[in-house]
Amino acid sequence: MADEQNQRSSNFFDFINSGINNFQNAKLAGLIAKRAASIALTFLPAWGFIGLIAFILLSVFIIVFSGLPLGADTSGIATISGAPTQPVPSGGTPPIQPSTPPVAGMHMFKGNARFYCQVDSQWNNACNVNYDGCGPTSVAMVTSSFGINYNPVQMSYIFRDVGAKTCNSGDDSNRNYIGWLKSNGFDVISVPNDQSGNLNLSEAAKYIDTGYIILGSSLAAPCPPHPPAWGCKPPKTTVSHLFVVDGVNPSGNSIAVLDPINCNTDHPGEFSGSGRTLNNSFGFLYALAIRKRQN
């Protein structure tokens, strides 16, 4: 009997040590709940009521101090290097088609463009993505359009880690994320402006036609028709912004844009996970042609 109790005690403490060492595991909370019930039934005859209460309190202590709320859904825990381990959404809208049927002269991205809404409530404003996350959201669109799926929250932590932004502010002129893209299998080429400071559409079309998608930055991007409540409100008509260009029309001097803030859910009839067609006249700070590196 004593040997049996000692073996039970050994199993119990082995389980607790295992739980403490591995509580970052996404299924820990559920594991503890199942094992708690099993071990409680085993120890009740030997330890009595006081021992059972002590075990329950210890289980609760492990769950609480592991940082996992009771009943938390941890299926989307981020694994980005340097990011705090926490539940983050892992979804997004499915691949979309261009916002309007291609018109004559429009050169469209050859793949399936992916759209993310920067102000989507599912991001829970992690790393302030809802307010100043146009850069991370746009880069997440770019990588996901090539099947390398990151959501805006995960990309926000990458931006933070490489010094492209903090979780409290963004900077459209900071391009530190380019090194991360290159080191993770993407070709990145600067697309020049024309003499007026707008995107050189003839050059951009060459890249679009060879499988690139374009990341654009402007200090005066046109506000969408119904922007989020915190930005672009009248009398403002422009915003410092990053966005994705998935089509260019040199003959019509227009561009097809996937705009991460063109998604005010108060006006769902005007938003279907799609982009905008804009006149190429508002000026570009820079533009980058990006595609997955060819092996």
Residue ranges of domains in the chain: 2-65, 107-292
Q: At what angle do helices 134-145 and 152-162 cross, to 10 degrees?
A: 110
The pLDDT of residue 52: 54
Provide the 3-class DSSP secondary structure of residue 221: strand
The pLDDT of residue 173: 58
The pLDDT of residue 68: 32
Query: For the chain, which residues score pLDDT lower than 50?
Result: 1-37, 39-44, 60-98, 268-273
CB atoms < 10 A from the CB of 51, how many? 14
Residue 94, φ and ψ in degrees, nearest 5: -70, 165
The pTM is what?
A: 0.68
Q: What is the CATH number of domain 107-292?
A: 3.90.70.10
The pLDDT of residue 53: 67
The pLDDT of residue 272: 46
The pLDDT of residue 54: 58
